[in-house]
């Protein structure tokens, strides 16, 4: 007995882009849990991660900089809210691997949440990146329960930086150009490694 309360969420422990996540990932009893864990272990040849499912909103936070840098300190940027089929207060909805390849998922930044909650989510993101010793940049996913409590889901230490990801939306919300946020990442790495700065031409 783990002490975890159903419903539980089961996914591969070492995948990205929601690989291994589908409708059966949400389980409601011991039998479903056993079957789903066995499926993950057999198919993906890795441990299954089991966690309590949080009903509510989902946000993702871009973090840049480094914990031990005075010039480029670890900083969370405006949270991005994730919607599924036009719904942003997700309830029991969740992002699946199949949605990576269609238009079911949408994003809005800044997230339509109170500033106090946005700040709390950003603090969770920075705390997670510090604990995981993330360098230069990362993206942290957070689920917010109905009572407004933010819960860390996972951290992507090497997120997609292309125009199809959330970085352009974050830059726009910050009032800067997309290339400027990329340069912030490059400058953080440069500072950490003692190299010359990012070229902005």
Of 98-102, 105-109, 111-115, 152-156, least confident by mean pLDDT is: 98-102
Of 13-17, 33-37, 100-104, least confident by mean pLDDT is: 100-104
The β-bridge partners of 197 are none
pLDDT at 198 over 70: no
Question: For 46-73, what is the mean pLDDT?
Answer: 97
In a domain, 116, yes or no: yes
Same domain, 96 and 188: yes
Same domain, 60 and 47: no
Question: What domain count does the chain have?
Answer: 2
Q: Which helix (H) or strand (E) holds 83?
A: strand 80-84
In a domain, 41, yes or no: yes
What residues make up the domain containing 117? 56-193
What CATH number is associated with residue 65?
3.30.470.20
Same domain, 46 and 105: no
Task: Decide: pTM greater than 0.85.
Answer: yes
Output 38 or 1, whichever has higher pLDDT.
38
In a domain, 28, yes or no: yes
The mean pLDDT value of the chain amounts to 94
pLDDT at 193 over 70: yes
Q: What is the pLDDT of residue 163?
A: 82
Same domain, 69 and 30: no
Output 117-123 pairs: Cβ under 8 A, ≥24 positions apart: 117/144, 117/148, 117/150, 118/78, 118/79, 120/148, 120/150, 121/59, 121/61, 121/79, 121/150, 122/61, 122/76, 122/77, 122/79, 123/76
Report percent pLDDT > 90 for the chain.
86
In a domain, 1, yes or no: no
Q: What is the pLDDT of residue 166?
A: 94
**DSSP output for 139-194:** EEEEEEETTS-EEEEEEESS---STTSSHHHHHHHHTS-HHHHHHHHHHHHHHHHT
Same domain, 90 and 129: yes
Q: What is the pLDDT of residue 157?
A: 94
Q: What is the pLDDT of residue 46?
A: 96
Q: What is the pLDDT of residue 196?
A: 76
Q: What is the pLDDT of residue 103?
A: 85
Q: What is the pLDDT of residue 1?
A: 64
Q: What is the pLDDT of residue 168?
A: 96
Q: What is the pLDDT of residue 17?
A: 81
Cα–Cα distance list, 137 to 3, 63, 64, 83, 85 (Å): 34, 5, 4, 23, 29
Q: What is the pLDDT of residue 200?
A: 57
């Amino acid at each position: 007995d783990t002490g975890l309360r159903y419903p539980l969420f089961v996914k591969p422990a070492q995948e990205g882009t929601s690989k291994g996540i589908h409708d059966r990932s949400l389980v409601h009893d011991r039998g479903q849990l056993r079957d789903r864990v066995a499926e993950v272990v057999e198919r993906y040849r890795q441990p299954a991660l089991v966690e309590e499912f949080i009903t509510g909103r989902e946000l993702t936070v871009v973090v840049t900089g480094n914990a031990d840098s005075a010039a480029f300190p670890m900083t969370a940027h405006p949270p991005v809210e994730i919607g599924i089929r036009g719904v942003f207060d997700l309830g029991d909805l969740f992002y699946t691997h199949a949605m990576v390849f269609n238009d079911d998922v949408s994003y809005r930044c800044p997230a339509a949440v109170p500033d106090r909650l946005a700040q709390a989510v950003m603090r969770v993101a920075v705390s997670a990146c510090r604990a995981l010793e993330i360098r230069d940049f990362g993206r942290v996913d957070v689920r917010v329960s109905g009572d407004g409590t933010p819960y860390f889901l996972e951290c992507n230490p090497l997120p997609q930086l292309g125009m199809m990801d959330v970085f352009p939306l974050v830059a726009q919300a910050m009032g800067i150009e997309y290339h400027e946020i990329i340069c912030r990442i490059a400058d953080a790495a440069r500072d950490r490694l003692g190299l010359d700065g990012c070229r902005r031409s």
